[in-house]
């Protein structure tokens, strides 16, 4: 993997590849510089610390895992969206073994501010997308949501199920789909 990189994105791509091959612990300034075929100073040009590199790498991994699909219909139907999200979680766990549990839990436990903030931004983006899809889904009953049982509250339930599935490494969306079917249709 010893290719010379010249951009921030190249460094992040190489960092993602290091995680794939060696795990999360492989991400440090020296190992990334070596894998990129550049000096340590070149990495510091783009990232002022190991924490900055790790945070940007985390954001990059989240973006790769949950990049928007080519099929825009996924975001018109909550069941299609959930199925897609669970498949992306499975993809993420295969591409980045241990990423979700090791990285997420370490940032929450150790309170690494920037990494935690980026992780929460990724989570908020997923929650916002779930809310948008719930509002667009033509199959949802008109009376499904109330002042007490809101779109946002139900999206939070669905997201909690997803996080639980991540920790269990269970990518079968059947239970979440059944909750949607019984609750909304």
pLDDT value for 134: 97
Find the range with the poorest average confidence among 4-13, 22-31, 108-117.
108-117
Residues 58-74: what's their mean pLDDT? Answer: 83
Please compute the mean of the pLDDT values over residues 100-106 and round it to a whole number.
61
Q: What is the distance between the alpha carbons of residues 121 and 27, in angstroms, rounded to a whole number?
A: 21
CB burial of 130-151 (b: ≥16 within 10 Å; e: otherwise) equals: bbebbeebeebeeeebeeeeeb
Q: Does the pLDDT at position 25 exceed 60?
A: yes
Q: Could you tell me the pTM of the whole model?
A: 0.81
Alpha-helix runs per DSSP H in the chain: 8-22, 29-36, 40-46, 50-65, 78-95, 104-110, 113-136, 151-168, 174-184
pLDDT at residue 105, rounded to an integer: 52
- Does position 59 have pLDDT exceeding 90, yes or no? no
- Over residues 48-62, the mean pLDDT reads 88
Q: For position 4, what pLDDT does the model report? A: 63
Cβ(82)–Cβ(171) below 8 Å: no
Query: Rounded mean pLDDT of 66-88?
Result: 88
When mean pLDDT is compared across 2-6, 31-35, 66-70, the lowest value belongs to 2-6
| pLDDT higher than threshold 50 for residue 173 | yes
Which regions of the chain carry the CATH code 1.10.10.60? 8-57
8-57, superfamily in CATH?
Homeodomain-like (1.10.10.60)
pLDDT value at residue 166: 86
Supply the pLDDT for residue 39.
Answer: 93
Local confidence band at 115 (pLDDT 50, 70, 90 cut-offs)? low
The answer to whether residue 147 scores a pLDDT higher than 70 is yes
Average pLDDT estimate for 80-92:
94
């Amino acid at each position: 993997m010893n290719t010379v990189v010249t951009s921030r994105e190249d460094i992040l791509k190489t960092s993602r590849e290091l995680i794939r091959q060696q795990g999360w612990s492989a991400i440090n300034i020296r190992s990334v510089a070596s894998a990129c075929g550049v000096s340590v100073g070149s990495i510091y040009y783009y990232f002022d610390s190991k924490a900055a590199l790790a945070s940007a790498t985390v954001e990059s991994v989240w973006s790769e895992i949950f990049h928007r699909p080519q099929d825009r219909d996924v975001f018109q139907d909550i069941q299609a969206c959930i199925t897609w999200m669970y498949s992306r979680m499975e993809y993420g766990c295969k591409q980045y073994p241990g990423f979700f549990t090791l990285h997420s839990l370490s940032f929450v436990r150790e309170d690494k501010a920037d990494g935690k903030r980026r992780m929460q931004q990724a989570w908020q983006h997923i929650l916002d997308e779930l809310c948008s899809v719930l509002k667009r889904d033509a199959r949802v009953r008109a009376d499904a949501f109330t002042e007490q049982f809101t779109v946002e509250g139900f999206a939070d339930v669905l997201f909690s199920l997803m996080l639980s599935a991540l920790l269990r490494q269970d990518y079968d969306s059947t239970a979440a789909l059944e909750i949607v079917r019984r609750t909304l249709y």
